[in-house]
Structures are given as C-alpha cells and as structure tokens.
Structure 1
Amino acid sequence: MRFLFVAATLAALAASSHATPAAAQASDPMPVGPPTPPGAAMAPTPLPARLTLAQTLEAADARSPRIAAAAAEVEAARGRRRQSSFRFNPEISVEIENFAGTGAYSGFNGRETTVAINQRLDLGERRHARMTLADAELIAAQYRLEIARADLALAIRDSFADAIAARDTLALARENEVRARELARVAQTLVDTGNEPPLRALRANSALVQTVADLRSAEAAERTARRSLAALIGLDTPPAELIDSDPAAMPEAIDPRTTLDVRLAETQRAIAEARLGSARAEGRVDPSVGVGVRQISETGDRALVASLSLPLPIFDRNQGNVAAARSDITASVARRDDAILTAQAEIANGEAQLASAEARLAALEGSAIEQAREAVRLAELSYRAGKSSLVEYLDAQQAYAETQAALIAARRARAEARAVLLRQAAAIPGGEQP
C-alpha cells in the first residue's frame, strides 16, 4: 500500500509538470518532472550593445554556471533512474569436489564437477522501491533546475532594475548640473551688473559644486550597476545601454500550492515515502535459487543439481533505517507546510508592494512631476527678471529633483515587486516560464 501511495503521488507531480508518470516508464525511462526548455544547452551568442530585459534573461540562462550545474544534476539523476531499473545479475559457480585426496580420491580420478547458475529473486520488491525512489529524485532534480532558473531570473530582474534606476538617476544629475551651471552664470551676471550682492554668486557656485559632485557619484553608480549586471550574465564587458522594458504579463492570481518551492517540497515528501518503502524492502529476505549440472568423473555420469538459499533475519531487519525514514516523512511534511506559508507571505507582500508602487507612480507620473517641472521654469524666469530670490529658485530646483528621485524609486519598487511575483508564478501553467 505504501508503494501505491508513493507511485500515485509521483504520478500527480509528474502530470502537473507535463512529465511522463513514473508508472509508465520502462527500463530505459523517458524524462519525468518539469521539461527542460529547448535550447538551454546551446552555446551563448554575442550580445548586442543595447540590451532589453528579455535578452538579458535569455543570455543569463544560457551562460549561468548555476544553471549548467543544475542541468548536470538532472542528467545524473536520470542516469541513476536508469540504473535503478536493472535486476540482480545472475551468478555462475564452478565447484570441484573429491580430488587430490587419498585412496580412490587421489589425483582427479574421483572428482565431481558442478557448474551452476544462481539467481537472487526480488521477492522483497527492492527493484520497485529503487525505481520509485529514483523517480522522485529525478523529479526533485528537475524542480531544482527550474528553481535555479527562477532564482536567476529574479536576480536578473532586480539587477536590471538597479541599472535602469542608476541610468535615470544619472540623467537627472546631468540635468541638474546643466541647470546649476546656467544658474551660476546668471547669478554672476546679476552680481556684475549690481542687481545682486556677491553672496548670491557664492551661493549659486556652491550649489553648482554640489550638483557636480552628485553627477560624479551618479556616474560611478551607473557604471557599477552595469558591471554588476554584466557579471550576473557572465560578461566581461558591461552593456553600453539598457532598454527599459518588461513584457512579462502579471498573473491575475497565484496559488501558493503551485509554486516551484512547494512542488519541490511535495516531491521531497514523496522521496521520504519512497525511502521508507526502500528501507522496508531492504529488511525483507530474498531467496536465491540455482540450477546446475554435476559431472562425476569416475562413472562419466551427469546429474542436475538445484539449490535454494535464504538469509535468516535474526538480528538485522533494517529496523533502524525504517524508523529514520518515518522521521524523515514527518520532517518533509513540516517543510512542505513551511514552504506553503513562505509562498503565501511572499505573494501577499509582493502584491501589496506592487499596488503601493503603482499608486505612487500614478500620482508622480500624473500632475506631480509636471507641476514640479513647471515650478522650476517659472522660478527661473522670475529670478532672471529679478522678481524672486535665488533661494526661491534653488528651492524649486530641489523640489523638482526630489520629485524625480521619488519617481525613480517608485519605478524601482514596482520592478522589484514584479520580480518577486513572477518568481512565485514561475510554476503557474500558462504563465511565464523562467
């Protein structure tokens, strides 16, 4: 009954991942578990100087050592699955009796030679237990491969969003530097004509120095962000330009029980069940039977011989491993429940963060940024005309810079929330696959 339960669990997991059920596999099995995306093993191609997020994700998947290692582990598990299907090898034995003795048994005249073939019978269902366990371990390896891809996609999306935010921050710093330089020139002109005291020119030059320092810092941060993204992809040279686009459609709802982590936890529970079945099978006794031919040299007669051997399970019935396997099942159930709770929390947090970021973006991209930009323009005109002070103009510039920075941060928060939700949705049928 335990084998039937484990086999049914594996079949359900394999079917949910569009894989061949374990029960339908032959001695040379077809792949089970999540399918490996086509082209994953293709050699990486040179990347364009201007990268989109989709190109970055594809390049990282093709070049990542983590993905290559996880894929190799799948192939290793597939080899172990094939090995588990083989039966016990027969044994051939040759036995010579009654030779080199005394009297009639001196020399080889009285020898009896027996050639026999012995076969261990699998009455304890060891082969079935091995195959069931190997099926579950293969599914788990393939889910780990998909999780590695999903985690890599999450890291790429986060790093790409950092680089985009650094790019936009650099553009804002350049804009502020141009405006501060023009302000310093206008202030100096007004001082030279006697319309402003010298203190105003000093204040404007101080603001210029600060904006230049901010510009240099933004340039360094932007280069660092592109280098970090390149390292994550596996490139020595960072891309020259990033194109801000994420065409991935967000799922309407995500069921925590269908996430990759929960599916892996379910598979690990099936592994624990299979190990219990294997431990029980190892505790059973398997007889060995043999049949052979005996040659009697003295008379030249031949006769058949048969044998039967059976271990006596007096001391070792594998009871310790059976008890350990039961405890492993309890632990795997707890880990599955924890995976469900973790997925629920991450999905809920991601949805809340996405809603908050979308609300901030709606406010900032609407009237807020336009009003701040218009306030700077009017303050500049008023200052040039001598109708407002330099402080008022600087305040308007500061307000505009803060609004732009808030807009960049909101876009970064939205990208981060999308990345988290897409990571959780990686196992949803019909959703984006990592």
Structure 2
Amino acid sequence: MPAFHRRRPPIAASCALVALVTAISSPAWADPAPSYAQLLARLDQTPAATEALALEDAAEARVRQARVRPNPTVSLEAENVLGSGPFSGFGGADTTLSVSQDLELFGRRGARIDAARADARTATLRRDLAVVDAAGRLALAYAEAEAAERRAALADETLTLTLADARAALVLVEEGREPLLRGIQGESEAAAARATADEAAAERDAAFARLTAVAQLAAPVTSIPATLLDQTPASAAAAAEGPPTVRVAEAERQAAERRIAVERTRARPDISASVGVRRFEAEDANAFVFGLSVPLPLFDRNRGNIDAARAEFRAADARLASARQDAQADRAAAEARLAASVSRVRAADAGVTSAEEAYRLSRIGFEAGRISQLELRATRTALVSARTAAVDARLARVRAEIDLARQDGRAPFEGPQ
C-alpha cells in the first residue's frame, strides 16, 4: 500500500490543477448581444425580409404596368411609285399616314389589372409570412444561444462541485474513513466534468455564432444579458383572418382564378382601329382613311392556355384545402405543446429546488461521515439532471410559443402584428 501511494500523484494537487485550468480557460465575455426585442425591431434588415419586400415591390410595379394601355402604331405607306409609265418616280404616288390603336375590348384590360392586383396581394401576404418566419428563426436562435450559455455555466458549476467533492473525498481518504478507490474515482469524475464543460463551451460558441448570423450582427455575440427563456409566452387569440399560411393559399387561389379570366379574354378577337390621311399626288388631293383590324380565330383560340389556367386553379384550390387542414392541426398541436411545456417548466423548477436541498443535506452528511461518496455522487447527478431539465423545459416552451405565434401571424412573445 505505501508503494502504491508513492506511484500515485496527490489527489489534492490534481484537483488544484484542474481548478487552475478551469479558471484560466474560462473566457471573460465582454460584448453582450442586444436583447430579443431590439433584434426584433431591426428584423426588416434581415435578408429574408428584404427579399420578401423586394418581391412585393415587384408585384406592385406589375400592377402599375397592367394599367398602362398598349402603345399606338404609326405607319406610312406609299403606293404606285417607282413603276413604269405613269407610275415612274413619285409623281403618281398615293401616300398614306395612319395611326392604329388596340381597343382592348371584351374586358381585356380590366382582367389584366385584376390578375396583377391578385398577384400583388399574394406577394404582400407572403411578405408578412416571411417576416413571421424570420421572427421565429430569430427567437429560436436567441433561445438556443441562451440555453447553450446556461448549459455551459451549469457544466462549469458541475465541475466546481465535482472538484469540491473530490477534495472532500481526499480528506476522508487521508483520515482512513474512505478507501483510496474513492479518491481515484473523484479524480476520474473531475476529468469527465472538465470534458463536459469543454464540450458545453464549444456548443455555446456555436450557438452564439448562429445567433450572430441570423440576427445579422456586425460583431460576434459573446453573451446573452437579457433572458428569453424565462419570458412568459404571449397569450394572443387566433387571428380573425386565419393563419398566414391559409391567407397566402387563399390569395394564390384568387390569383389563379383571375388568370383564367385573363386567358379567356385573350381568346376573343383583338380589335384594332386605325385612322389616317392619304395623299394623291396625281390629283393633288387628300382624303381620310379609317379602318378596323380583326383577327380571324381559325386556328388559335387560346384553349390550351385556358385549360392550363383552370388546372392551376384546381391545384391552388387543393393547396388551400390542405393548408386549412394543416393549420387547424398545427394550431391544436401548438396549443397543447405550449400548455404542456408551461407545466413542465413548473415541475422542473420544483425538481431543481428539491435536488438542491437534497445535495446540500447529502454534502453535510458526507463531510460528517454519515453517508458514502456514492450517495453524494447520486445526489449531485440528480441536481445536474434537474437543472438541465429546467433549461430544456424552457427551451421547449420557447419552441411551442414560436409554433403558436406562426399560426397567429405574429412574432413570438409579441402581440398580434
């Protein structure tokens, strides 16, 4: 046994070394991230919101273009010129200058404008949905970063507790009240806790990097000073106009219906009127010219495009039915998950309180020699599990709030938009 002691390094020295490494490797976070509310206020600067706004502007521009009438056509014709006999040169020329205009009869222009307006409304609703989705991604990235930060802090605290338990075990080993095996186990637990703390720190840094990218921040996020995990979800009722996904599907269906009307008007004759003046050089006289141009629908009656528009309308109608069913199921599921997560948070908090008291009492009993190190380790493990479960419960509550907010058409933890 004495020889074995000489081969082993002192446990106290090992614990002190691990504690020193912990203190040195722990970074001093200096640049906190903006709060979730501040990031939400600048959500329109994100690429997704910018893209959706640009597509809405494009749709509005197409509405303006749809209101514009077609340009008139100016034509100049010369007859009976550069021939033979009396038609040589330009002396007997008949010259006609005319202007023709597409009349856009049979509701062609109105149907075109209505279709463009329907597309613009769809683009507006898609923009709103894109903003809601962007807010959900931001809330999730913020909550995950905060959860990763808490897990890293919990891992550091666990390492501190493990080192303290290892030092207490060393004292008992030196007093002969515990076998040397308990001290070796303490060293092993401290090394495992150190590895867990390093892994948690890496996950925290990765979550901070994701938040920096999602929030489009110029400087990297280094800490989360304002909590989102502890924030109470907003109690907002369902939107009166329905979920955003359903509204988008309804707008797409209406736009598809408007395109059927456009294709039907294209099947009707495209009548053009013309007016002009003709110059008769031989008689030194002028005369007005009037005309109408009507295509004969012998071959192309636009039936293929009409059938295609009808098929697209049926597809849009099917998407709307599916969107309504999915929205109803998703909302019910989101409400159930949110209620369950709220109860889970309360239970997890109660579990943390109980686990903290159990560990405190077991630590007192261990130092007094009334309980073994195995019992102390069990209560410490239970405390770590309880605190981890509390963080997981809060993150689940945020996810449930994000799902419900998407159905309500609002940003998470905010009122109706």
1:296 and 2:276 correspond? no
Shift of 1:320: 1.0
Partner of 1:219: 201
Would the aligned equivalents of 1:121 and 1:289 in 2 still touch at CA under 8 Å?
Answer: yes
Q: CA deviation at 1:93?
A: 1.4
**Counterpart in the other structure of 1:93:** 75
Correspondence 1:362 to 2:351: no
CA distance in 2, matches of 1:256, 1:343: 14
2:148 is aligned with 1:166:
yes
2:292 alignment partner AA: L
**Corresponding position of 1:269:** 253
> What secondary structure, in the 3-state scheme, does the structure 1 residue paired with 2:409 have?
helix
**What SS does structure 2 have at the residue aligned with 1:307?**
strand
Q: Does structure 2 retain, via aligned residues, the 8 Å contact 1:350–1:420?
A: yes
Identity %: 35
Distance 1:410 1:427, change over 3 A: closer
1:425 aligns to 2:396 (yes or no): no
Q: 1:117 to 1:344 in 2, by over 3 A?
A: same
Instruction: Determine if the alignment matches structure 1 residue 126 to structure 2 residue 108.
Output: yes
Match of 1:140 among 101, 122, 137: 122
Q: Decide whether the 8 Å contact of 2:271 with 2:294 is kept in 1.
A: yes
Query: What residue identity is the alignment partner of 1:320?
Result: G
Q: Distance in 1 between matches of 2:161 and 2:313?
A: 67
Which deviations, in whole Å up to 9, do the C-alpha atoms of 1:142-168 show, x marking residues without a partner? 222222211111111111111111111
Q: Which residue of 2 aligns with 1:393?
A: 376
Provide the aligned length of Structure 1 versus Structure 2: 383
Alignment-derived partner of residue 322 in structure 2: 338
Residue type of the partner of 1:155?
A: R
Alpha carbons 1:425, 1:431 under 8 Å: kept: no
Q: Which amino acid aligns with 1:389?
A: S
Counterpart of 1:177 (choices 159, 173, 195) is: 159
1:188-244 per-residue CA deviation (whole Å, 9 max, x = no partner) reads 112112222211211222221221111111111111111111111223643222121
2:306 aligned residue? 322
Alpha-carbon shift at residue 422 of structure 1 (Å): 1.0
Summarize deviations over 1:74-131 as a string: whole Å, max 9, x none.
Answer: 1211111111111121111111112222222222111111111111211132211111
Any idea what SS the aligned residue of 1:99 has?
A: coil
Q: 3-state SS of the aligned residue for 1:213?
A: helix
Tell me, yes or no, if the aligned pair for 1:140 and 1:264 is still in contact at 8 Å. Answer: yes
Is the Cα contact below 8 Å between 1:170 and 1:219 reproduced in 2? yes
Q: Is the 1:257–1:340 Cα contact (8 Å) retained in structure 2?
A: no
Per-residue CA distance 1:293-352 (angstroms, 9 max, x = gap): 111112211111111121111111101111111111111111001111111122111111
CA contact (8 A) 1:166 1:218 kept: yes
Partner of residue 364 from structure 2, selected from 371, 381, 388 = 381
Name the aligned partner's letter for residue 208 of structure 2. R
Q: Is the 8 A contact 2:362 2:379 kept in 1?
A: yes
Match of 2:391 among 390, 404, 408: 408
Equivalent of 1:307, from 275, 291, 305?
A: 291
2:62 is the counterpart of 1:77? no
Alpha-carbon spacing, 1:225–1:337, altered in 2? closer, same or farther (3 Å): same
2:62 counterpart of 1:116: no
Work out the CA distance in 2 between the residues paired with 1:305 and 1:327.
45
TM-score, with length taken from structure 1: 0.84
Greater displacement, 181-190 / 231-240: 231-240
**Contact map agreement 1:153 1:423 (CA 8 A) in 2:** no
Give the partner amino acid of 1:337.
A
| Secondary structure, aligned partner of 2:34 | strand
Q: How does 1:201-240 map to 2 (within 5 A)?
A: 201-235=183-217, 237-240=219-222
Change over 3 Å in CA distance of 1:223–1:431 after alignment to 2: same
* Larger displacement relative to structure 2 (104-113 or 415-424): 104-113
Aligned partner letter, 2:296: L
Conserved 8 A contact 1:150-1:426: yes
Give the distance between the partners of 2:265 and 2:304, measured in 1 at CA: 13
Task: Give the direction of change, closer, same or farther, for the CA distance of 1:261–1:113 in structure 2 (3 Å limit).
Answer: same
Q: Which residue of 1 aligns with 2:177?
A: 195
After TM superposition, where is structure 1 displaced by more than 6 Å over at least 4 residues in a row? Answer: none
CA distance in 2, matches of 1:83, 1:248: 48
C-alpha displacement of 1:431? 3.9
CA distance in structure 2 between the partners assigned to 1:361 and 1:245 by the alignment = 14
CA contact (8 A) 1:166 1:225 kept: yes
CA RMSD of the aligned region, Å? 1.9
Tell me if the contact between 1:249 and 1:432 (Cα under 8 Å) persists in the aligned partners: no
Deviation digits for residues 164-191 of structure 1, max 9, x if unmatched? 1111111211111111111111111121
* Structure 1 CA distance for aligned equivalents of residues 185 and 32 of structure 2: 42
**Residue 257 (structure 1) shift:** 5.9
User: 1:51 touches 1:241 (CA, 8 Å); kept in 2?
Assistant: no
- Bigger drift between 238-247 and 400-409 goes to 238-247
Greater shift after overlay, 410-419 or 300-309?
300-309
Q: Is the 8 A contact 2:236 2:415 kept in 1?
A: no
TM-score, normalised by the number of residues in structure 2: 0.87
SS in 2 for 1:253: coil
Task: Flag the 1:69–1:338 CA change in 2: closer, same or farther, 3 A.
Answer: same
